[in-house]
A and B are shown apart, each in its own frame.
Chain A
Amino acid sequence: MLNRREFLKLVVKGAILGNFISLITPELEKALAQGEIKKKLPILMVETGTCTGDSISLDNIWTPTLSDIFTNITEWRYDWTMMQNQGESAYSVLLDMEKNLAHEFILIVQGSIIRRDGGHYNYAGLENGQLVTGLDLVRRLGLKAKYIVAIGNCATYGGPASGYPNPSDSTGTQTILPERRIINVSGCPAHPDWIMGTLLHLALYGEPELEKFGRPKMFYGETIHNNCPRRRYYDQGIFATDIGQKECLYRVGCKGPVTYADCPIRRWNDRYNWPIGCNSPCIGCTEPGFPDLMEPFTNHFPDIPFPGGSRAATDRIGRGVLGLTTLGIVGHFLTSLYKGRLQRNLIQSTTKGKKKIRLKKAKTIRNYRPKESKP
């Protein structure tokens, strides 16, 4: 027999996943009346310095459908693109959630946090005749939310809006909410499965395991390069000489080796294609430091300095060294990536040829390490 507590836990899962409610109505009604469970996941989405690409990406979700998400999985309460209402009466939904659902709702942040001029380069609401900046709104709601999910590279790490010279002084959500733990679902845009998978994990099992930049390990656990279907070309040293060719795109700027995401196995839209699948290099859009540290997108990495001082050009690695050794070297290269060695090298050869700018950018990356939430 289940005890009452276990039963209720099951009910919550059932309610979120489907139509469990109708089977056990009396017990559920009692629980609902006593306020022990919430029927669906209340969602509040704030859009700051965004292109709305992540909303559009979420609309593209294949399973479950967006209709299912709206009707059965979540209560998509505040999202200014999807709402029917407008003006004050729409904004009152947000205020109501802040007041009555404190520490119960999930805050989704979409778009970079704009800090220039105290945040006045971006307004995200109008309250009692006063414009509310995106910066203030995210901070205010962030302190009241149960979980905070930042979606898209802008909301997580500043993204394209924070590209040099960063005219809007954009940054990621973790920087302005150091007292909270932010779950970063990065990507430009984030894959809808990453967004929905994270939300569902939060609803059913709480916080997912995060990697060192606050991204759920289940989606961002491995590099593109590790799972790439063109990996065999890399291992054999067969490289494309220009974009639009079917070989390994490493030498025309692919950032797969430094980019953590599961695009190669998940793929996009109807799971048919993905950036490298269309013969165009990965541009590293899930990483902190994108886009400055990943540019130029179509120029290849510097030759990698290997431990022990030997400087091996990538095509020689493949051609000359046996597969096993290659794997060893690549493995080492991957693990040492964020320890700085490659970062420094990347910095020397990417954007704008100004070393200091890129160094400065690379230094901001440590802001995005996940923090512990303080009560």
Chain B
Amino acid sequence: MLVEAHLENGVIQDALIADTLYRGFEQILEGRSAFDMPYYTQRICGICSSLHGVASSFAVEQALGMTVPPNGLILRNLIMGSDFLQNHLRHFYLMSMPDYFKGPDIPPFTPHLEGDIRLTPQEDQRLTEHYFNSIEISRNAHAAFGVFGGKAPHGHGIVPGGCTMHVDADKINRYRGYLITILEFINNVMIPDVEFLAERYPEYVYLGKGNGNFLSVGGFTQPDGSTLFPHGIVLQDNHHPFEDRFITEEVTTAWYEQTGPIHPWQEKTVPDKNQPQGYTWIKAPRYQGHALEVGPLARAVVAKEKIIGYGAIGRHWSRVMEAKKIAEAAMIWLERLVPGAETINTKVEQESGMGIGYVEAMRGSLGHWVKITKGRVDHYQIITPSTWNYSSRDEKGNCSVGEFSIRGLKIEHPELKEAGRVIRSFDPCFSCSVHLIDGERLRTLNVRV
């Protein structure tokens, strides 16, 4: 990821956030067998692999008229849940925490990013221990993924029609064992840690606010049709139901062939590095013209749950609370599994069709749009969470939530540390749309657009 910040008297006036990697998955997927999609789309991202798998399965199932047995749905939730826990643990400790504590004097902590560390050496020592503990706990989450998903990341268990793994008490027992360790860690270590950070860095609970628009497309569909995360849009405190037809994507300032704002069904992905206004590979998804924030905070706002602030640590707090919520829900899902009952149904009603797969991934809303003709993919479009959070400017010059959030930030420390804290609080995805360039590179520059 590349951040260009325009500073005046130490205050960020404007910023451009750019992604510097193009792989072209949407182009690659065309022409392949529809049943390969969950395997292939997982390769888009190594951190939220299962979510891409589930989104593409949903899309293919809708297109081909397949029905998933209840056990299959619960298994998917368990796989996604463990992947969520893995991400939330790793993001909080391995990616965010180093912004707030000094850590040991060994690489990869050295050279330290100096300045504004408000902890005593003892507290620093304690957080360092938690950092290393979290590594051991988070791999438990992926081990739980592996119980039903085969391996993690890039599991094999999720396919159109359900999950390939059968259910028995041994597997439930094993998954539960991993889950309990994680739940204990969340309750005893992670929640106190995030509250401790909020206490020591109180202004960051509010610093780095988004633009007040939030989206959640709903996630963790349960057999009775309900979802753990409700879907909805919040535009400046007004709640609205979410509708697919209001989504448009445009590429005015991204390195693609120009199309104007269009729905993913009409969209084509044609890269064009010579685009004069281009500065990034991220497209610009908009909902009725609004840039939206997605992620744990957005889900909490849409679900009208408790939040402590809309800023950087406010986002971390929501993320940690969400981890607890998911771990507890997973306990209930485990009880609802029926050992021996079918988990997959590969019966297909038609050979061609169109389907949409929406899931809430760790970082926010993920959508897959697929058109299938005679079992092969004709058209594939994906909007990932980081595409929402770090979108390019649209034709009206509206910026993304990510770019908006660091405007007005007062910079007092080297390498624009403050902006790094805010940007990382969104949990930028490393690969699906955003790729960090050497942590975050921030420089002063005049900004176009």
Contacts and interface: CB of A to CB of B under 8 A. Distances in A.
Interface stretch (A2-10, A30-38, A70-78, A203-211): A70-78
A220 B441 CA distance: 39
Interface in A95-123: 112, 114, 116-117, 120-123
B12 interface: no
A246 B344 CA distance: 13
A47 B435 CA distance: 9
A117 B22 CA distance: 11
A193 B268 CA distance: 40
Interface of A: 47-57, 59-62, 65-67, 70-71, 75-94, 112, 114, 116-117, 120-126, 129, 131, 159-161, 163-168, 170, 188-189, 242-244, 246, 268-270, 272-281, 283, 285, 291, 295-299, 351-352
Q: Which 7 A-B pairs have the closest CB atoms?
A: A53-B46, A86-B439, A167-B24, A278-B150, A268-B151, A269-B146, A280-B156
Contact of A243 (B23, B164, B414): B164
Contacts of B155: 278
A310 to B, nearest CB: 30
A81 B136 CA distance: 18
Nearest to A243: B164
Contact size class for B? 35 or more
17 contacts: A48-B21, A53-B153, A70-B107, A71-B104, A78-B107, A84-B103, A93-B111, A121-B273, A123-B21, A126-B443, A161-B23, A268-B150, A270-B140, A273-B146, A280-B156, A298-B159, A351-B31
B56 to A, nearest CB: 13
Interface stretch (B34-42, B301-309, B331-339, B360-368): B34-42
Contacts, number: 278
Contacts of B148: 278
The winner among B36, B107, B111 for most chain A CB atoms within 10 A is B107
Nearest to A122: B21
A121 B21 contact: yes
A51 B431 contact: yes
The winner among A90, A163, A278 for most chain B CB atoms within 10 A is A278
B33 A295 contact: yes
A78 B110 CA distance: 10
Contacts of A297: 33, 35-36, 39
A198 to B, nearest CB: 19
B135 A55 contact: no
Contact of A120 (B94, B165, B273, B430): B273
Contact of B22 (A80, A83, A168, A298): A168
Given A66-B135, A168-B22, A268 B33 contact: no
B164 A280 contact: yes
A87 B46 contact: no
The winner among A82, A84, A246 for most chain B CB atoms within 10 A is A84
A108 to B, nearest CB: 13
B86 to A, nearest CB: 8
Given A65-B135, A160-B43, A243-B344, A165 B151 contact: no
Contacts of B344: 242-244
B112 interface: yes
